Amino acid sequence: MDNALILVAEDEPEIAAILTAYLERDGFRTVCAADGETALMHHQLLRPDLVLLDVQMPKRDGFAVLAEVRHRGNTPVIMATARAEDLDKLSALHVGADGYVVKPFNPMEVVARVKAVLRRTNGAMGGPTVLRVNRIAIDTACYSACVENDDGDARLDLTLTEFRILEHMARAPRWVFSRADLVDACMPESDALERTVDSHVSNLRRKLDAAGAPGYFTVVRGVGYRLLGK
């Protein structure tokens, strides 16, 4: 993610300035577009690593821009909208968005989501097939996981969402993931609420405990979850 180029497609100058300031503070490079046509031109010429795309853009709206970006390839896209209706969110995800944020938003949360999406998409394009976190082994190609014990491996019977959460967090052990991070990275095709993450993590923790790997998940109050609390 170091030095990744983020295209900020936003027609409100103040919002664009705030987002670029926070992104650049975290080491990202940025380029801005104030309308949909300029956003597509920048995307074609500069090949950004991720696009932050406002829904209500002049000339071409965000959905039209997203459709063209998807026609060109797999550049990660996070949609931003001032309209919180589920239909808008589901429409964005249906045509290929990797996540969404609703205005007004906390710019630090937006940066965290950018990092989460880049971690997920970069992991999908390469990296190790098997991830290991102490005694937990995660085979990303076979969608399987187990706990390696002295008396043999204990296979984890995980749902797809549970597997995604475990894999995503295993790529950055000790990192604290907010519920919003996990929704964006592990459930991008659904309209799941952030509180549903608690249920998935609880089930995942219970299965790890039963397989002989207790205490891997800890709650960081007011922030989210950490895979390794020790």
Residues 114-130 pLDDT 10s: 988 888 776 554 445 67
219 pLDDT exceeds 70? yes
Q: How far is CA 133 from the centre of its chain?
A: 20
3-state helix, strand, coil in the chain (%, to 5): 40, 20, 35
Looking at residue 169, its pLDDT comes to: 86
Please identify which residue in the block is written with the tokens 């960081």: 220
Q: Spell out the domains of the chain, with CATH numbers in brackets.
A: 5-125 (3.40.50.2300), 130-226 (1.10.10.10)
Which of the residue ranges 42-56, 70-84, 111-125, 140-154 has the most confident prediction, judged by mean pLDDT?
42-56
- 8 Å CB contact between 149 and 212: yes
Residues 6+ positions from 142 with CB-CB distance below 8 Å = none
What are 17-62's pLDDT values in tens digits? 999 999 998 889 899 999 999 999 999 888 888 999 998 889 998 8
Q: Is 25 exposed, middle or buried (0-12, 13-18, 19+ CB in 10 A)?
A: exposed
Q: How many other C-beta atoms can be found within 10 angstroms of the C-beta atom of residue 78?
A: 22
Enter the pTM of the model: 0.55
Instruction: Give the pLDDT band (50/70/90) at residue 190.
Output: low
Q: Report how far residue 13's alpha carbon sits from residue 27's, in angstroms, rounded to the nearest whole number.
A: 21
Query: Is the pLDDT assigned to residue 230 strictly greater than 60?
Result: no
